[in-house]
Structure 1
Amino acid sequence: MESRKQALEEERRREHLEKRLQEETNRRQKLVDREVKLREKQRAQSRPLTRYLPVRKDDFDLRAHIESAGHSADTCFHLSLTEKICRGFLVKMGRKIKTWKKHWFVFDRNRRTLSYFSDKHEAKLKGVIYFQAIEEVYYDHLKKAHKSPNPCLTFSVKTHDRIYYMLAPSPEAMRIWIDVIVTGAEGYTQFMV
């Protein structure tokens, strides 16, 4: 009887230890899974702030970059986006006479320019902003643009000699244009060591 009691006690202890072992194994597996997910997320978002620096690589895919930033270029019908070029209408404030006029803008990574034209046919060039001149691109949060038709959709492109104030047709178009132009903002590099 005593040996049977001992065997039963031993069996209960073994089952209890196996249960604890299984719980510990499950807990550790969950930790490993969570750590692996965190590592994968960190890899996907590695150096997130460098996304907002100019990119000089020749093989740079502008469309893929913009889509990886969370924008959907296909649903934003206000602009056309390819691997190297972004095109669309923006309203720009004039330099001397502070009126707002609609222009067709072309951001071209091959020519390293942001050009604007009087219309969509790109026949009459109105002006060019070279990548080397672009220092900063930012949302006009201080509302400095003179009498902007829509201050919430206004952003600024700062160059060596002036600030261009531009108005996008939609919030999504504004965010895409800002992210696109930032990739060409090479003007700040002249101050780097």
Structure 2
Amino acid sequence: MFQVQFREVEMSALHEERSRREELERKLQEETRLREEIINQQVKLREKQRQQARPLTRYLPIRNKEFDLRQHIESAGHHVEACSHVIVTANSCRGFLHKMGNKFKTWHKRWFVFDRLKRSLTYYGDKTETKQRGGIYFQAIEEVYVDHLRTVKSPNPKLTFCVKTYDRTYFLVAPTPEAMGIWIDVIFTGAEGYQQFL
């Protein structure tokens, strides 16, 4: 009789031990799954930040005198004719963009001119191009990228892009997704400030 009771106690203890181990194993698996989720989220976030932090290398600054900006943009897949918001020629690109002010952070519609001959991106109050409001020389442009992280409050976050220079980041809003794509690719052909990354 004593041996049977001892055996039952032993079996009960083994059963409890197995249950405890199964519970610990389940908790371990759950903890591992949660950690993997957190790691995956961090990797995705890091990748997104890395894409914005490192300049695009699709276009190096192109100084070739025979370079045709319009032909280059069309060969990149843009339909310049279909985009009425941007005027692209062999040496320039023109069109309206909204720009966030540096001091008061308000948005203003400006006429932008990307000029390969003057090697600058300038902006004006209107199409007449008489009163220049500001500009950026190619040597100062370090990066051009879509504002995926939505770092500013924009009138249209999906169409907001950034032109980063050594002393300031310009926040711009294009009228359409196609216009934004054209402007980003155009500006990058003149970006010379990021050569330290090469």
1:123 to 130, 145, 154: 130
2:161 to 152, 155, 160: 155
Distance 1:99 1:107 in 2: 23
Runs ≥4 residues deviating over 3 A: none
Structure 1 counterpart of 2:191: 185
Per-residue deviation, 1:52: 2.4
User: Which amino acid in the other structure matches residue 59 of structure 2?
Assistant: Y
1:64 to 64, 71, 88: 71
Structure 2 counterpart of 1:98: 105
Q: Trace 1:1-193 onto structure 2 (pairs within 5 A).
A: 51-145=58-152, 147-189=153-195, 191=196
Deviations 1:65-99 (A, max 9, x none): 00000001000000100000000000000001000
Distance 1:58 1:104 in 2: 26
Q: Secondary structure at the match of 2:64?
A: coil
Aligned pairs, how many?
143
- Cα distance 1:51–1:59, how it changes in 2: closer, same or farther (>3 A)? farther
Deviations 1:145-180 (A, max 9, x none): 2x2000000000000100000000000000000000
Distance 1:63 1:173 in 2: 13
Percent of aligned pairs sharing the same letter: 65
TM-score where L is the length of structure 2: 0.70
Per-residue deviation, 1:192: 5.7
* CA RMSD after TM alignment: 1.3
Distance 1:138 1:89 in 2: 18
Unaligned runs of 5+ in 2: 1-55
Distance 1:192 1:183 in 2: 16
Per-residue deviation, 1:128: 1.1
Q: Secondary structure at the match of 2:102?
A: coil
